[in-house]
Amino acid sequence: MAKQKFNLSLLGQLFSGLIVVLASVSHCQTSECPQLCVCEIRPWFTPQSTYREAITVDCNDLRLTRIPGNLSSDTQVLLLQSNYIARTSEELEQLFNLTELDLSQNNFSSIQDVGLTNMSQLTTLHLEENQITEMPDYCLQDLSNLQELYINHNQINTIASNAFTGLQNLLRLHLNSNKLQSINSQWFESTPNLEILMIGENPVTGIVDFNFRSLVNLRSLVLAGMELTDVPPNAFVGLDNLESLSFYDNNLVRIPQKALQKLPNLKFLDLNKNPVHKIEEGDFKNMLQLKELAINNMAELVSIDHYAFDDLPELTKLEATNNPKFPS
Ligand SMILES: *[C@@H]1O[C@H](CO)[C@@H](O)[C@H](O)[C@H]1NC(C)=O
Ligand SMILES: *[C@@H]1O[C@H](CO)[C@@H](O)[C@H](O)[C@H]1NC(C)=O
Ligand SMILES: *[C@@H]1O[C@H](CO)[C@@H](O)[C@H](O)[C@H]1NC(C)=O
Ligand SMILES: *[C@@H]1O[C@H](CO)[C@@H](O)[C@H](O)[C@H]1NC(C)=O
């Protein structure tokens, strides 16, 4: 009995596998697939992790210097990672249903050359690991449904004040590993729904008061690998929902006590690898939600006040290892 059941379900699996194969074959026959690319229906997850199926054209890793012609206009996911594309012409214009476009690891040096018009369905855009140097005003303004923008690991040194205009639905922004020297609060006035901002690994030497004021929905902020020596008292005003903050690998010489007081919902704080000398009473005052605090790899740390961690009712994890000058 058990064996028969097993056989039946195996047959069922074979049968449904056959249907998937037939479906993708017929898709490729009715609408041409660019040479060497793979065209098929694949599982796809929305930025909220909802399962979907998407008409996918996979042209990854083909040494292409231009976007293939004859892309089917019902394409939903277009994968062009790891090619040599530096500009597009009209190839993307008819793809009204495109939801994800991956142009990471290509040769773009200007965002205008990406040709991002008429893509009202686009939710995810990958432009990481190109050679883009600046983001001018309104450069993404037609992407009103964009939820995720990955433009990290480029050469961006300038972002105009209105560069993100139109991105009112953006949830996730990766700007890390670029050449930015400062962070302009006006950028974020267009993106009030942002939840995750990664902007570390930029040569930023200071942030200013009210730097992130409009980001009331931000949950995670990564300021790792910058050159911050101090944080002004009102830098984080407005970040009422921030839960996670990383200062990993900066030049902080003291805990930015006053700035941290402005984060009522902070749960995770990473201060690892900063040359902090002393941790004092009151440094973490009123951080009622703080769960995890990391103060590892502090080469200059010589003292921790007896009462430094006193008012932290929710603290479940305190890491303080590899602090060579601290007497243990
Ligand atoms: C598109 O398809 C047509 C007809 O199948 C063909 O003649 C043309 O060369 C193709 N264009 C490109 C850019 O591949
Ligand atoms: C785009 O998607 C809609 C809704 O699923 C569909 O009705 C329409 O035919 C699609 N457009 C193209 C060009 O495939
Ligand atoms: C693309 O960029 C790489 C690395 O920057 C470079 O070596 C290559 O010559 C470029 N290729 C084209 C076709 O521009
Ligand atoms: C697509 O964009 C072009 C120019 O950017 C515009 O002329 C055209 O009306 C747009 N088409 C649609 C359907 O939005």
* pLDDT of 267 above 90: yes
Q: Which atom of ligand 4 is nearest to the CA of 96?
A: 13
- 3-class DSSP state of 279: strand
Alpha-carbon span 73 to 140, nearest angstrom: 21
* pLDDT of 21 above 90: no
pLDDT confidence bin for 17, thresholds 50/70/90: very low
**Residue bearing the bigger pLDDT, 120 or 258:** 258
Cβ–ligand 3 distance for 65 under 6 Å, the answer: yes
Summarised one tens digit per residue, pLDDT across range 187-217 is 999 999 999 999 999 999 999 999 999 999 9
Amino acid at the residue 109:
S
- 3-class DSSP state of 188: helix
Entry pTM: 0.88
Q: What DSSP element (H or E) covers 3? A: helix 2-30
Closest ligand to 154 CA?
Answer: 3
pLDDT confidence bin for 118, thresholds 50/70/90: confident
State in Å: Cα 79 to ligand 1 middle.
Answer: 20
State in Å: Cα 142 to ligand 4 middle.
Answer: 10
* pLDDT of 102 above 50: yes
* pLDDT of 5 above 60: no
pLDDT score at 85: 97
Closest ligand to 73 CA?
Answer: 2
Among 70, 88, 90, 94, the mutation site with the greatest number of ligand 1 atoms within 8 A of its Cβ is: 70
Instruction: Name 135's bridge partners.
Output: 159
Return the DSSP state at 7. Answer: H
Alpha-carbon span 259 to 230, nearest angstrom: 10
pLDDT score at 135: 98
Summarised one tens digit per residue, pLDDT across range 135-146 is 999 999 999 999
Among 66, 83, 107, 109, the mutation site with the greatest number of ligand 3 atoms within 8 A of its Cβ is: 107
- 3-class DSSP state of 30: helix
Cβ–ligand 3 distance for 107 under 6 Å, the answer: yes
In this structure, the residue with its CA closest to atom 6 of ligand 4 is 118
Q: Which residues line ligand 1 (CB under 6 A)?
A: 32, 69-70
